Each structure stands twice: as C-alpha cells, then as structure tokens.
C-alpha cells in the first residue's frame, strides 16, 4: 500500500497526480520490478484523483518479489516524474 503526499488548500497548492508516482521493488541484489500484474486486489490504488500537499492516497499495488528473500529488498518510491526516489525498507 502506498501513501502519497497531498496539500492543504492554499492559494498555490502543490498538486500531485498519483498516476505519475512509481513504486518499484528492489531486490537484495539490486534488480528492480514494477507493478505489472493485470489484476490488483480491491481496493486498487486510485491513480486518477488529484492529491494536494499533506494528503494521502491508499490502495493496493501488486509487486513481484522473490519469495525466499522478499524481506531483504526495499521499495523505491518516486512521488513524481522529476522527483528523486525514496527508499523504504520492506518488513515481512
């Protein structure tokens, strides 16, 4: 599940489009996988609603990870097309 930034209403809020967010699984050996599974369990991540700074979006993503070492990898989350990736530890 991904929680994405949203903004409180201001005269110039920072707007994010969840469709531009990328989430990848990075294996312990440095290989990356993206969510390419054709069916996502409900509730799927809503990628069509606008997010403002401080807000969140919740939903499911399916990522491919090796079963025996999945907990050794990290999630690489890029909140926008031109933003840097943030790495989050996977717990299992």
Supply φ then ψ for residue 75, to 5 degrees. -95, 135
Does residue 81 sit within a domain?
Answer: yes
Q: Which of the 8 DSSP states describes residue 84?
A: P
- The reply to whether 62 falls in a domain is yes
Higher pLDDT, 72 or 39: 72
Residue 2 counted as domain residue: no
| 75, part of any domain | yes
Tally of domains in the chain: 1
Q: What's the pTM? A: 0.69
- Residue 43: cis peptide before it, omega within 30 degrees of 0: yes
Tens digit of each residue's pLDDT (9 = 90 or more) over 21-36: 888 999 999 999 876 6
CA distance 8 to 67: 40
Q: What is the pLDDT of residues 5-21, one digit of tens each?
A: 444 555 555 666 666 78
Whole-number Å distance between alpha carbons of 58 and 78: 16
Q: What is the DSSP letter of 58?
A: -
User: In which domain, by residue range, is 19 found?
Assistant: 15-89
């Amino acid at each position: 599940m991904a929680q994405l930034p949203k903004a409180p209403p201001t005269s110039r809020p920072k707007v994010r489009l969840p469709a531009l967010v990328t989430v990848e699984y990075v294996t312990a050996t440095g290989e990356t996988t993206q969510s390419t599974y054709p069916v996502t369990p409900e509730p799927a991540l809503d990628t069509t609603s606008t997010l403002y700074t401080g807000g969140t979006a919740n939903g499911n993503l399916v990522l491919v990870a090796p079963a025996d070492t999945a907990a050794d990898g990290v999630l690489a989350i890029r909140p926008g097309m031109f933003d840097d990736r943030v790495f989050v530890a996977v717990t299992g």
